[in-house]
Amino acid sequence: MRLLLIEDHERFANFVKDGLEKEGFTVDAVDTGGSGEDARATVQYDAIILDLGLPDTDGLNLLRSWRDAGDKTPVLILTARDGVDDRVRGLNSGGDDYLLKPFAMEELVARIRALLRRPGGVLGLVITAGNVSFDTTAREVQINDKTISIPRRELGVLEQLMRRAGRVVPKDVLEDKIYGFGKEVSSNSVEVHVSRLRKRLAGAGANVSVHTLRGVGYLLSEESTLNPQ
């Protein structure tokens, strides 16, 4: 899950970004409305966390312009303003939810997950492929009803592959979803995660496997679909 955080208070932004990344989200943090627009132009975010008081614009103006342009990305508004008017204006401008600063990290995580689970949101609760099930809320994977532990980036790869099981997932889409901006992504790093994941799945008795389509991407399928004999 890739999130955009638009927040100009640096320490607060770092706190939010770290907290969300510990929960398995990939977070791009920017500190102006302008850089937020640049980020949105290159990445399709799963949700946006938007501060209202930004140095170059009012967050509500940004939000209104996105909604006017038909962008339905879920938006959680963060603000220190506590007036009922601001809350109403935020929701009227197309915000999906609203959180007043200060807040507990657990509260933010819960609200983000709730947004992603809404109709049109990307977060289904539990996804399954073959004998593998992935609880995207608990970030827990079970194979044949046994929980197995998977490191965070491999988990990100598995989630994307499971959400598109039976379809090709281009390599750059995987890179995009599991790394944020400003991180060096070595050219073979997705391959490394896929290869580890493949061994882990096989070792745990999964009846799905990850196929490499050289130069294109990856595909998760049940073994029986590719080997009908």
Binding site for Ca ion (CB under 5 A): 8, 51, 53
Q: Which two tokens stand for residue 114?
A: 């709730």
How far is Cα 136 from Cα 132, in angstroms, rounded to an integer? 13
Q: Is 215 left (phi over 0), alpha (psi -120 to 50) or beta?
A: left
How far is Cα 90 from Cα 86, in angstroms, rounded to an integer? 6
Compare residues 15 and 202 and give the one whose CB is closer to Ca ion: 15
Q: Which residue is nearest to Ca ion (CB)?
A: 53
State in angstroms the smallest separation of the CB of 59 from Ca ion: 8
Q: Measured between alpha carbons, how far is residue 124 from residues 26, 31, 103, 116, 210 in Å?
A: 17, 30, 25, 8, 21
Q: Is 144 left (phi over 0), alpha (psi -120 to 50) or beta?
A: left
Compare residues 81 and 117 and give the one whose CB is closer to Ca ion: 81
**Taking a C-beta distance cutoff of 8 angstroms, is the pair 3, 46 a contact?**
yes
Compare residues 20 and 129 and give the one whose CB is closer to Ca ion: 20
State in angstroms the smallest separation of the CB of 174 from Ca ion: 33
Residue 176 neighbours by CB distance under 10 Å = 17
Compare residues 28 and 51 and give the one whose CB is closer to Ca ion: 51
State in angstroms the smallest separation of the CB of 17 from Ca ion: 15
State in angstroms the smallest separation of the CB of 35 from Ca ion: 14
What does the DSSP 8-state code read for residue 14?
H
Compare residues 78 and 220 and give the one whose CB is closer to Ca ion: 78
State in angstroms the smallest separation of the CB of 90 from Ca ion: 14
State in angstroms the smallest separation of the CB of 28 from Ca ion: 17
Compare residues 8 and 222 and give the one whose CB is closer to Ca ion: 8
Alpha-carbon 79 to chain mean position: 22
